[in-house]
Structure 1
Amino acid sequence: MKILDWYILKRYLTTFFFTLLILIPIAVAIDISEKIDKFLRNDDLTLFEIANDYYKNFIIYYANTFLPLALFIAVIIFTSRLANNSEIVAINSSQISFTRFLYPYFLGATLVTIFALFMNHFIVPNSSKTRKEFENNYFKKQKYEDRTVRNFSLQLNDSTYIFIQNFDLKRNQGYNFSTETYSGLKLKYKLEADNITWREQDTAFRLLNWKERRIFNNIDSISTGNSKDTTFAFTPKDFNYKSTYAQEMPSGELSEFIKISKKRGVKNLNAYLVEFYKRTSLPVASYILTLIAVALAHKKRRGGMGVNLAFGISIMFIYVFFLKVAEVLGAVAGANALLNVWMPNIVFGCLAIYLYFNARK
């Protein structure tokens, strides 16, 4: 690697981390001003808990969120400085092509991408879980929340299905429960109960007014009873499909959850798929944003860095807008979550390629 490459890579990473370090304190200061009254309201809350349980994880989450913005602004700032100081003119005079000039930029983008992938898939989910537990304990007012699941069906394996007319997740009690086992298209076993209750201390379900039917070749066996304790390959947690939980699962756990849920016949998992795909698409955007920023800022302009920043922030605003729209559309039932999540990268990737060929001239 040449001295020039080290010079650009060092400026790339230094300006990126400096920009990120400017944005984070601003976010923390705004958040403190909004939540100071809530901190003071909780007499049992210590300064260590606020710093360790909340703001440590707050910084991790928002540093990851601001990463594309910090990267884009950083590349525009230091590339504009290179152009204004006529350093890029000197580089061009040395017969270094624009493509070769991009080499240290893409090396820096690779380092940022690897870091962001590690954060998105492993660190941020665990951090978000701790932060949201803190928020639920100290920030959110206690209010009634309907936690009843209605008309819920689940496929436990290739041949077994369950159905519950309604289940109260707070009381762990449900009504009109049934489970059926098939051999091909033929029903082989059915168990019904008027009432089903989860007994956490026994890790078992209690059925009331139950009826059991076993189907053989020439005869059926029917049993009934008032009360029966039994186990199934599910717990009440499997009834609660909320997209917010996806943000708290490491990618391995989230992938396994999606796989099992598909097998169980859950109809709409797009919110989970969007979260899973987004963890890869956002880091990869580092290459696209880097190329766009260099193509915009590599020439000296009248107005200097301010003009480049104005263009860059406008493009960044449009990118974030497209990103949020794509996430919403991708979470809709029946939509192609993978295509929607990657659509902003595809569109802005085309823009980056156009600016690249235009800059080569």
Structure 2
Amino acid sequence: MKILDWYILKKFLVTFLFTLLILIPIAVAIDIAEKIDKFLHSDDLTFFQIVDEYYKNFIIYYANTFMPLALFISVIVFTSKLANNTEIVAMTSAKISFTRFLYPYFIGASIVTLLALTMNHYVVPNSSVVRKKFERTYFKKQKYADHVVLDFSLQLNDSTYIYIQNYDLRRNTGYNFSTETYQGLKLKRRLTANNINWIKKDSVFRLSNWKERIIFNKRDSIFFGNKLDTAFAFTPKDLMYKSAMAQEMTSDKLSNFIKLSKKRGVKNLNAYLVELYKRTSLPIASYFLTLIAVALAYKKRRGGTGVNIAIGITGMFIYVFFLKVSEVLGAVAGANSLLNIWMPNIIFGAVALFLYQNARK
């Protein structure tokens, strides 16, 4: 790399970090203003606990969220400054093409992308476990629907299915449980129980008022009793199919969860797929956003840096709008989650290519 490349790359990274360090305290200040009453009303909550369990992880989450915005604004700001100081004119006079000018920008974008990928796939999910546990404990009053699963069915393997009419995740108690085992299309065994309880220390389920029917070719055998301790290939955790859980899983665990859930016959996993795909698509957008920002700020404009920043922020909000719409559409049953999540990148990639062609001229 040449001295000029190091100069631009240094400006890129310093301005990016500076912008990020401006946005994070603003987010923290707004959050403190909203939650100060809840902090004060919790007698057993200490200042160290608030900082260590909540705001440390809050900053990790929002630093990762603000990365594309900070990147976009920082590139526009310092590229506009280069243009206003006629530094770009000097580079052009030295026969440095627009494509060559982008070289250090894309090195910087690659550094930010790798950081964002690591944050998205591993750091933020682990951080979210602590933050969300804190929020559930001190901020949210758990509703009935949050801990009770209704009409839940699950495929344990190729031949075994379970059904639970009602299961309370706090009490680990369920009602009207049944499991059926098939050989092809033919029912071979059916076990039902009025109540099912999870015995955590033994890792077994206790069935109350149970009845089992085993079907043979010419006769059936029926067994029943008051209590039966037995193991199944699932635990109460497998009953919690909520999209919020996806945010607390690292990508390898989330991928395994999706594969296992598909095998068990869970129909709509799009909310989990959206979360998984978003962790890659958003960091990759750093390249498109960098190219758009450079193309917008490459030439000196009447009105200076302010006009470029206004255009950039408007474009950034449009991107965020498209991203949120794509998340909602991608989570709908039957939708193509991968295509929906990557659609904002496809659209802005086309815009970046158009601006790049114009800037080259």
TM-score band, normalised by shorter chain: over 0.9
8 Å CA contact 2:136, 2:142 repeated in 1: no
Please give the alpha-carbon distance, in whole angstroms, between the structure 2 residues aligned to 1:182 and 1:147.
Answer: 31
- After TM superposition, list the pairs within 5 Å mapping 1:225-244 onto structure 2: 225-244=225-244
**Aligned CA distance change for structure 1 residues 240 and 47 (closer, same or farther; 3 Å):** same
User: 1:342 — aligned with what?
Assistant: 342
User: 2:6 — aligned with what?
Assistant: 6
User: 1:42 — aligned with what?
Assistant: 42
Q: Which secondary structure does the structure 1 equivalent of 2:77 belong to?
A: helix
**Aligned CA distance change for structure 1 residues 51 and 147 (closer, same or farther; 3 Å):** closer
Q: Does 2:87 match 1:82?
A: no
Q: Does 2:32 match 1:24?
A: no
User: 2:112 — aligned with what?
Assistant: 112
Please give the alpha-carbon distance, in whole angstroms, between the structure 2 residues aligned to 1:3 and 1:130.
Answer: 44
Q: Does 2:292 match 1:292?
A: yes
The RMSD of aligned alpha carbons is 1.4
- After TM superposition, list the pairs within 5 Å mapping 1:46-85 onto structure 2: 46-85=46-85
Q: Does 2:211 match 1:211?
A: yes
Note the C-alpha offset of 1:257: 0.7
User: 1:202 — aligned with what?
Assistant: 202
**Aligned CA distance change for structure 1 residues 273 and 312 (closer, same or farther; 3 Å):** same
Note the C-alpha offset of 1:267: 1.0
Please give the alpha-carbon distance, in whole angstroms, between the structure 1 residues aligned to 2:202 and 2:291.
Answer: 58
Note the C-alpha offset of 1:28: 1.1
Note the C-alpha offset of 1:202: 2.7
Please give the alpha-carbon distance, in whole angstroms, between the structure 2 residues aligned to 1:156 and 1:143.
Answer: 29
> What do the CA deviations read for 1:220-275 (whole angstroms, capped 9, x no partner)?
33222222111111112211111111101111111111111111111111111100
> What do the CA deviations read for 1:73-118 (whole angstroms, capped 9, x no partner)?
0000000011111111111111111111111101110010000000
Note the C-alpha offset of 1:146: 5.8
Any unmatched runs of 5+ in structure 2? none
Q: Which secondary structure does the structure 1 equivalent of 2:276 belong to?
A: helix
Please give the alpha-carbon distance, in whole angstroms, between the structure 1 residues aligned to 2:342 and 2:8.
Answer: 29
State the identity %: 75
> What do the CA deviations read for 1:117-154 (whole angstroms, capped 9, x no partner)?
00000000111111111122222246655633222110
Q: Which secondary structure does the structure 1 equivalent of 2:247 belong to?
A: helix
User: 2:153 — aligned with what?
Assistant: 153
User: 1:262 — aligned with what?
Assistant: 262
- After TM superposition, list the pairs within 5 Å mapping 1:123-202 onto structure 2: 123-141=123-141, 144-145=144-145, 147-202=147-202
**Aligned CA distance change for structure 1 residues 157 and 141 (closer, same or farther; 3 Å):** closer
Q: Which secondary structure does the structure 2 equivalent of 1:248 belong to?
A: coil
8 Å CA contact 2:213, 2:223 repeated in 1: yes
User: 1:351 — aligned with what?
Assistant: 351
**Aligned CA distance change for structure 1 residues 138 and 199 (closer, same or farther; 3 Å):** same
Please give the alpha-carbon distance, in whole angstroms, between the structure 2 residues aligned to 1:189 and 1:38.
Answer: 53
Note the C-alpha offset of 1:208: 2.1
Note the C-alpha offset of 1:213: 2.3
Note the C-alpha offset of 1:217: 4.0
Note the C-alpha offset of 1:172: 2.1
Please give the alpha-carbon distance, in whole angstroms, between the structure 2 residues aligned to 1:147 and 1:284.
Answer: 36
User: 1:271 — aligned with what?
Assistant: 271
Please give the alpha-carbon distance, in whole angstroms, between the structure 2 residues aligned to 1:43 and 1:221.
Answer: 59
What amino acid is the match of 2:260? Answer: I
> TM (normalized to structure 1)?
0.96
What amino acid is the match of 1:354? Answer: F
Note the C-alpha offset of 1:183: 2.2
What amino acid is the match of 1:28? Answer: V
Please give the alpha-carbon distance, in whole angstroms, between the structure 2 residues aligned to 1:145 and 1:343.
Answer: 33
Please give the alpha-carbon distance, in whole angstroms, between the structure 1 residues aligned to 2:255 and 2:230.
Answer: 29
Please give the alpha-carbon distance, in whole angstroms, between the structure 1 residues aligned to 2:99 and 2:267.
Answer: 47
Note the C-alpha offset of 1:209: 2.3
8 Å CA contact 2:211, 2:222 repeated in 1: yes
8 Å CA contact 2:213, 2:221 repeated in 1: yes
User: 2:321 — aligned with what?
Assistant: 321
Please give the alpha-carbon distance, in whole angstroms, between the structure 2 residues aligned to 1:290 and 1:175.
Answer: 55
Please give the alpha-carbon distance, in whole angstroms, between the structure 2 residues aligned to 1:297 and 1:238.
Answer: 51
> What do the CA deviations read for 1:1-43 (whole angstroms, capped 9, x no partner)?
1111111111111100010011111111121222222222223
> What do the CA deviations read for 1:295-341 (whole angstroms, capped 9, x no partner)?
00000010010110111111011000011111011111111111111
